[in-house]
Amino acid sequence: MKHIHDAVYCPPNMAEVVLLGIAQDGGRPQPGCNKSCCIGLSLDEHSYPTSLGIIEQDKIHIIDVTRQLANQLQFLENQIPSDIWLTHAHFGHVDGLGLFGRETINAKGINLHVSKQMIELINQTPQWKLMMDQGVFVIDEITDNQPKENSEFIMTPILVPHRAELSDMHAFILRGENKSLLYLPDHDTWEETLAMHNAENIRQWLKDLQIDVALIDGTFWSSDELKGRAQEKVPHPPIEQTLEMLGYKQQGDPDIFFFHLNHTNPVYDEWSEQHTQVVEMGWKVAKQGMKISL
């Protein structure tokens, strides 16, 4: 496996990341859900769809843009980002793009970092194409394993297998002065992801990538969580499988946080048996608004 990070340097200043959301695309509470997981939640129990803010001294970046952008920008002192990075085209990760247009923010010249397949989709989607023509976004194509240098961190897209009805899917590695972080909200199965990257197991893969902090797909707790729906149509590695593959945290392991949590996921409840199991094994459930210095 080729490690492109061996040839890059760490920038001199320290970027900070802020987790702007921890929920799966539908958020929590999810529209149309009348179950106990969504009914009667207090405002501090609401969770926004997954997104990550990155703060440099001179600019703000966001990975994935959701319809909860107004609330999520409050974590960034309501600053408009100069750069947007998209993992893939599923609605919860892109449905905030329209908010940058004339009807709302009326932004100009925002750098939109996307894959070749996403560029093709943007050009085929009338609303997004119109925003491009109006100068809202400036396209910058990202390429698998090719780092992009910023003022205080380096961003590297990593191709991972995930339902490709509309586009491919890239996780992102952020490398700062002191830490590296993996942002992996979605992928289909560990078997496919590890095979794609020639890794025998999760621990080896993260070690190969030299990751200090990993935000990884924790959409479902178990494979039978969605009652009445075909799980194979919404594939994600369940947390209990990931825990079985990882075992207990060992010395030298990265900090792993589960996020992109479906509204049905029992780990939202800090007193649940499932949340307790994650913590007792040495891993963590992500918190909305948490900050990590790179």
pLDDT score at 90: 77
The pLDDT tens digits for 36-93 are 888 988 898 999 999 999 999 989 999 999 999 999 999 999 999 999 999 988 788 8
Q: What does the domain layout of the chain look like in residue ranges?
A: 6-293
Query: Of 64, 80, 84, whose CA–CA distance to 21 is shortest?
Result: 64
pLDDT score at 9: 42
Evaluate if residue 231 carries a pLDDT over 50: no
* C-alpha to C-alpha distance for 204 and 277, rounded to whole angstroms: 22
The pLDDT tens digits for 105-160 are 999 999 999 999 999 999 999 999 999 999 999 999 999 989 999 999 999 999 99
The structure tokens listed for 177 are: 């002065």
pLDDT score at 227: 66
Q: Which listed CATH number (1.10.3720.10, 3.40.640.10, 3.60.15.10, 3.90.1010.10) goes with 6-293?
A: 3.60.15.10
Evaluate if residue 255 carries a pLDDT over 90: yes
pLDDT score at 3: 39
How much is the pTM?
0.91
Give mean pLDDT, residues 256-268. 94
The pLDDT tens digits for 2-22 are 333 444 444 457 899 999 999
pLDDT score at 234: 62
